[in-house]
A and B are shown apart, each in its own frame.
Chain A
C-alpha cells in the first residue's frame, strides 16, 4: 500500500493498488490478513469526500489499477481469476461513482458490440475479450452466442457509434462470420468490425471484409485503438 497521507494523489494510488490486489472493501480478507483495512470502496468514499472529481477517480484510480492487471495478464504474470477479482474490485468503486455521473456522462472509451456468430456456442474466448476490453474502458454490449446477423444489426442500430466484434470457433461457422460481416456492411458500410477466434486468420478477415483481425484480447485492444482512436 502507498504511504498513507490523505493527499488525493495517495488516495488514488491506494485505489489503484486495491484494484490490483482485488480488495473490493474492508470486509474482504484479500490479501490474507487485510480484513478491516480499507479497500476500493472505502478509498473511493475518501476521494469523493476530498472532492476529487469522479472522472479523475475513475481514470487515475480504478482504471489505472485494472490496466496494470491487464498488462500483467498479457505478460503471463497473473491468471484470469486474478483479473476477475480485480475487475470485481473495480466495480465496487464504480458503484460508488455511478450516482455522481448522469447516465450519459459515464465516461467510456466507446461502445463495443460483441457476439459469437450464428451456429456457434463457444463463448469463453468471447467473454474474455469482453472482460479485457471493459478493463480498457470500453462499454460492452454482449449479444451472446449463436447470433444471427439480424440480431447484430439490431444491436448496432441501438448503439450507432459502436465498434463491433465477432468470434467464431468452428470451421463450419466461419462462413456465418462472413455472412454477419456482409449483413453489417449492407446497413453500415463503414462500421469497424473486428474478428477473432481459433480458426480465424488475418487473411480470412480480409477475405470477408472485416476491418481487422486480433488473435487475443490485448491485440483486440490495440487494434481498436488503431482503427477507432480515442476522441
Chain B
C-alpha cells in the first residue's frame, strides 16, 4: 500500500479550523457527505448487563433492533439533517465474527428502511474490537484473535458497514504501567514506536478489507492510551498535565492510519482528532458534554469546536423517564448539532463566534482543554509535520506541548495548581533525559521487562531491547 507522508498542514490557520468543515469531505451511506458544512450526530449504544453467547444472541439482536428503531424514529421526528450510527462490537462479537456480522446486517436493514421510507440521510460505522490481547504475551500479527479480527473486518464490510474503524491497542503492553508511573520515556516508545508500527500494519489490513467496496477506511483512536490517561486524571490518580501530553503525543500514532489510507471520519473518542484534521484535512468525529453518559471529561465544549460528527460515545440501553437511553442521547446530540448548524448558516463570523465560546468556556480550566484551542492545535500539528518519522515527531510533540502548558500557566489564562506545576517540571526533566536516537530510546524503555510484549510483533529484534 502506498504510504502518504504529511510534511505540511492542510489547515494552517486557526481561523479555518472549525466545526462542520473539513478540506476533504467524504460521502458514504445514503447520501451523507461529512465535512462539507453540516455537523451530524453520531449515535453509539451498548447493551445493558447481559451475556453475549450463542444462546443469548436472539435477545442481543432484539436489543439492537429496538435501539435502532427508537433512534431512527427520533431522528426522523427531530428532522435531523443526517445521522451516523456507530456499532461498536463487544469482544465476543469480534471473536465470533458471524455474531458481529448479523448485528451489522440488522442495523443495515433498519437504516435502509428509514432511508427508503423517510429519506433520512444515514450511514453506518462498524468498529470491531481489538481483541488481540486476549492471549498473552500478545502476538498482534498472528494467532486466532488476529484471524478473528481480520474475518470481522471483512464480514462487517460485506454485511453493509459504510465506515470501518477500530480502537487499536498496539503498544499497550508497555503503556499501562507507564501511565500509572507517569513515565514519559516509556509512553513515548509505547505510542511513537510500538503504536505507530502496529498502526501501519493494521491499517494496511483495514484498507485491504475496504478496497473496492462501499466502505470507507475511516480512522482510529488512541482511546486505550489517552482516554485511559484522561479517566485516571479525572479521578485525580495522575496529573492532568501528563494526560494532556499523552493526548497530543497520541496524535502521531493515530496519524499513521491516514498515512496508510484512512480518509475519515476519525473515531469519536479520538480527542486527537483536531490535530489530525489540521494535518490531513479529513473530517473528524468528536464527543464531549453529551457523552457524559459514558465518561467524565473536562473538555465537553471545546471538543465540539472542530467536530464534523458529534457523538455520545456510548450509552447502555436502559429505560429513562424520557425514553430508552440511546433515544434520549440522540435527542441531545440533535439539539447540539442544530445550534452549530444554525450558527454556520449565519456565516463564517457567526460560526467562529460560537466556536470561540465553546473554546473559551473550557480552555483555561484544564490543561487537557488548553492543548485543544485552535491556536494550540495548529502549533502542535505544525511541530508534528515538521519532524521526520514517528519517533522524532513524538519527541517534538512532547516538547511543544510542555512549552504550551508552561506559557499558558505563566503568561496565559491556564490555571494549574502547585501539584500540577510540579509535575510540569518533572515532565520537562524526564523529556531532557530521553535519548534523541530511536534505538537508544527503545533500549532505555526496558521493554524486555514487559511480560506481555512480543518484540517481533513490532519489528524489534530481541538484541535491540
Chain A positions within 8 Å of B, measured between CB atoms, are: 76, 79-81, 84, 119, 121, 123-124, 127-128, 146, 170-172, 174-176, 199, 204
Contacts and interface: CB of A to CB of B under 8 A. Distances in A.
A192 B202 CA distance: 44
A119 B48 contact: no
Given A81-B183, A172-B49, A174-B49, 18 more contacts: A79-B239, A79-B419, A80-B181, A81-B180, A84-B181, A121-B91, A124-B176, A127-B180, A128-B180, A128-B237, A171-B46, A171-B48, A172-B47, A172-B51, A172-B52, A172-B90, A172-B92, A175-B50
Q: Which of A127, A128, A171, A174 has the most CB of B within 10 A?
A: A171
B237 A171 contact: no
A76 B236 contact: yes
A146 B236 CA distance: 27
Give the interface centre of A84, A124, A128, A176 by most chain B CB atoms within 10 Å: A124
A221 to B, nearest CB: 16
Task: Give the residue among B50, B51, B133 with the most A Cβ atoms within 10 A.
Answer: B51
A175 B49 contact: yes
27 contacts: A76-B236, A79-B182, A79-B236, A79-B419, A79-B423, A80-B180, A80-B181, A81-B180, A81-B182, A81-B238, A84-B180, A84-B181, A119-B91, A121-B133, A128-B180, A146-B134, A170-B90, A170-B91, A171-B46, A171-B49, A171-B316, A172-B50, A172-B52, A172-B90, A172-B91, A175-B50, A176-B51
Interface in B21-62: 46-52
Please give me the 7 A-B residue pairs with the lowest Cβ-Cβ distance, nearest first. A175-B51, A81-B182, A174-B49, A76-B236, A80-B237, A171-B49, A81-B181
Nearest to B53: A175
Contact of B237 (A79, A123, A204): A79
Interface string B298-338: 00000000000000000010000000000000000000000
A178 to B, nearest CB: 9
A124 B133 contact: no
A124 B47 CA distance: 23
B232 interface: yes
Nearest to B420: A79
Nearest to B90: A172
B428 interface: no
A212 B134 CA distance: 29
Contact of B238 (A80, A146, A170): A80
A127 to B, nearest CB: 7
A79 B238 contact: yes
Contacts of A172: 47, 49-52, 90-92
Interface of B: 46-52, 90-92, 133-134, 176, 179-183, 228, 232, 236-239, 316, 419, 423
B451 to A, nearest CB: 10
B204 to A, nearest CB: 25
B176 A121 contact: no
Nearest to A131: B180
A127 B133 CA distance: 17
Contacts of A127: 176, 180
Nearest to B429: A32
A76 B419 CA distance: 11
Contacts of B236: 76, 79
Contacts of B316: 171
A204 B50 CA distance: 13
Contacts of B92: 119, 172
Contacts of A171: 46-50, 316
Contacts of A128: 180, 237
Contacts of A175: 49-51
Interface centre among A79, A84, A176, A204 (most CB of B within 10 A): A79
A146 B134 CA distance: 8
Contacts of B52: 172
B232 A80 contact: yes
Nearest to B135: A146
B362 to A, nearest CB: 22
B442 to A, nearest CB: 22
Contacts of A123: 176
Nearest to A81: B182
Nearest to B172: A121
Contacts of B232: 80, 124
Contacts of A170: 90-91
